[in-house]
Amino acid sequence: MRVLLVEDDMRIASFVAKGLRENAYAVDTAKDGDEASYMASLSPYDIFILDVNLPFKNGFEVCSELRENGNSKPILMLTARDAVNDRISGLDTGADDYLVKPFEFRELLARLRALLRRNTEVRAPKICIADLEIDTVSQTVRRADNAVELTTKEYSLIEFLAVNKGRVVGREEISEHVWNDGFDPFSNLIEVYIKRLRRKLDDGYPTQLIHTRRGSGYILNDV
């Protein structure tokens, strides 16, 4: 899942980005409101984390601008102000959730998961395809009741395929949601990761779950 983190305080942005990356999110950061608007217009982020006090354009403004441009992805506001009025105006400008600093990092993760679930067809924290089971809370994967060890990136990829199960997802879509801005579109990174996932999840099982649709992309299903 791809996140745009908008935070002017570098020290906060740094640990939030680090923590999110370690939890299988692809994170880009923006330092001010203008940069946030620009980046949101370039890439299809799955979720936004917005600080309220930002230079040039504050979080509320960025939020209402995103909504005006037809962006319906979840927005979580993050701020040190806990006045009720601030929370209300945050939610009224189109934010989906509000978290006050200082916060428990696990709570931020849980809220992001909840917001992301709300936005997809799959509403259960566990996604199952045939005997493949993906737990989005503990970020663990089991195939036929055997635990499968995956790296963070591998997990991000299988989770993205699982959320879109039964639908062909293209290379570009994968790169946009699983990788952040640093992704090199000419690399064969996706193929490498798909190959690794196949080795870990499909090899040795009677049904193949990860399929390649030549020229269009990949699909996860049990047909």
Partner 1 sequence: MYRSIRVKLTLWYVCILGLVFAALAVGTYLVFVRAMREETRNNLVEMRTDFTALVYRLHSELPHNSPPETPITDALKEFNFRDYRFAVYSNQDQLIGKTLDGDPPPDSLAAVDENRLKQISINGERYGLYVSPLPLNGKMYKLLVLYSLADQSAVETRISTSFLVGIPILLILAGLGGYLLARQGLKPIAVMGEQAKRIGAKNLHERLPIANSGDEIGNLATLFNQLLDRLDQEFERQRRFMADASHELRTPLAIVRGESEVALQKEIRSDAEYRESLRVVNDEAKRLSKIVEDLFTLARVDSGNIKANFRELYVDEIVDECVRRVRTLADKRRIDVTFTSEELVTHGDEALLQQMFLNLLDNALKYNHEGGHISVTGKGKSVTVSNTGPEIPEELKGMIFERFYRINKAHSRQAESFTSGAGLGLSIARWIAGIHQADLRLTRSEAGENVFSVTFPS
Please identify, using beta-carbon distances, which residue of 101 and 213 lies nearer to partner 1: 101
Please identify, using beta-carbon distances, which residue of 1 and 132 lies nearer to partner 1: 1
Please identify, using beta-carbon distances, which residue of 83 and 88 lies nearer to partner 1: 83
Binding-site ranges for partner 1 (CB under 8 A)? 8-12, 14-16, 18-19, 22-23, 31, 53, 55, 80-81, 83, 100-106
Minimum distance from CB of 34 to partner 1 (Å)? 14
Please identify, using beta-carbon distances, which residue of 52 and 174 lies nearer to partner 1: 52
Question: Rounded CA gap, 99 and 117, in Å?
Answer: 18
Residue by residue, what is the 3-state secondary structure of the chain? CEEEEECCCHHHHHHHHHHHHCCCCEEEEECCHHHHHHHHHHCCCCEEEEECCCCCCCHHHHHHHHHHCCCCCCEEEEECCCCHHHHHHHHHCCCCEEEECCCCHHHHHHHHHHHHHHHCCCCCCEEEECCEEEECCCCEEEECCEEECCCHHHHHHHHHHHHCCCCCECHHHHHHHHCCCCCCCCCCHHHHHHHHHHHHHHCCCCCCCEEEECCCEEEECCC
Please identify, using beta-carbon distances, which residue of 106 and 126 lies nearer to partner 1: 106
Minimum distance from CB of 18 to partner 1 (Å)? 6
Minimum distance from CB of 164 to partner 1 (Å)? 27
Question: Rounded CA gap, 163 and 122, in Å?
Answer: 6
Instruction: Please report the beta strands in 82-125, taking only residues with DSSP state E, as ranges in sequence order.
Output: 97-100
Please identify, using beta-carbon distances, which residue of 22 and 203 lies nearer to partner 1: 22
Minimum distance from CB of 206 to partner 1 (Å)? 35
| Contact between 52 and 90 (Cβ < 8 Å) | yes
Minimum distance from CB of 50 to partner 1 (Å)? 15
Minimum distance from CB of 180 to partner 1 (Å)? 17
